[in-house]
Amino acid sequence: MSSLKTPSKTIARLEARVSPEIKALWQKAADLEGRTLTDFVIASVQASACQAIARHQSLKLNLEDSETFVQAILNPSEPNARLRAAALRHQQVLRG
């Protein structure tokens, strides 16, 4: 007897309750772009999500901080006793 597998769902459902005014606004925008309301909302949320993630994943420094960062990379300070001890402990852990 062969087992029949049902295909797994490849989409997820998302529901949102909005006022009629907001829905009408979104619908008008979708119509102007020649899209369905669903396609318009999905594309808009996707773009917004990508922008939010990009904002939170990028590091922006002012000029003074940028120069300090570059100098620290180009001229690193010597490790202090605590850092040397931590490196030694790390090596011991790796050796088992």
Does 13 fall in a domain? no
pLDDT at 86 over 60: yes
pLDDT digits (tens, 9 = 90+) for 11-45: 899 999 999 999 999 999 999 999 999 999 999 99
Can you give the pLDDT at residue 4?
58
Average predicted confidence (pLDDT) for the chain = 91
Does 67 fall in a domain? yes
Q: Name the one residue in this structure whose structure tokens are 């901080």.
A: 65
Does 4 fall in a domain? no
Q: Name the one residue in this structure whose structure tokens are 């001229």.
A: 75
Which value, in Å, is the radius of gyration of the alpha carbons in the chain?
A: 27
Please state, in angstroms and rounded to a whole number, the distance separating the CA atoms of residues 75 and 38: 54
Does 5 fall in a domain? no
Reported pTM: 0.56
Percent of the chain's residues with pLDDT above 70: 92
**Total number of domains in the chain:** 1
Does 70 fall in a domain? yes
Supply the range of the domain harboring residue 85: 20-95
